């Protein structure tokens, strides 16, 4: 996972990102790879959740969610199951079609 992807996933939880990267310049270091152990540690502190819906899309779970939910994941579980690109796309585009992983 790249630094910019982790920043996107931890948006609104900047305190977590800053704990690991301080005031890192994203323009200069955004494309750097983050060690998986750091990604796992940072995402384990996040309260964000994701879910798989009935048409096999990964989406961000919110308390006012009205879609049919097949399974709920912590952001760390989603990362471990589907990877950094999938969870980043959920935040960038609101969903990720899990059929792409086949």
Enter the DSSP assignment of 35: P
Higher pLDDT among residues 64 and 79, named by residue: 79
In this predicted structure, the answer to whether residue 53 has a pLDDT above a threshold of 70 is yes
Higher pLDDT among residues 62 and 8, named by residue: 8
**Which residues are CB-neighbours of 81 under 8 A, at least 6 positions away?**
73
Higher pLDDT among residues 22 and 65, named by residue: 22
pLDDT tens digit sequence for 8-52: 999 999 999 999 998 888 889 999 999 999 999 999 999 999 999
Residue for token pair 């900047």: 14
- Distant-in-sequence contacts of 7-11, Cβ < 8 A, 24+ apart: 8/88, 8/91, 8/92, 9/43, 9/46, 9/48, 9/75, 9/84, 9/87, 9/88, 9/91, 10/42, 10/43, 10/46, 11/91
């Amino acid at each position: 996972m790249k630094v910019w992807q982790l920043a996107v996933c931890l948006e609104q939880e900047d305190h977590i990102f800053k704990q690991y990267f301080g005031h890192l310049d994203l323009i200069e270091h955004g494309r750097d790879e983050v060690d998986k152990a750091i990604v796992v540690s940072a995402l384990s502190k996040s309260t964000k959740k994701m879910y798989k819906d009935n048409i096999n899309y990964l989406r961000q779970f919110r308390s006012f969610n009205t879609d049919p939910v097949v399974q709920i994941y912590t952001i760390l579980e989603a990362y471990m199951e589907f990877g950094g690109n999938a969870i980043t796309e959920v935040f960038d585009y609101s969903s990720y079609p899990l059929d792409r992983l086949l």
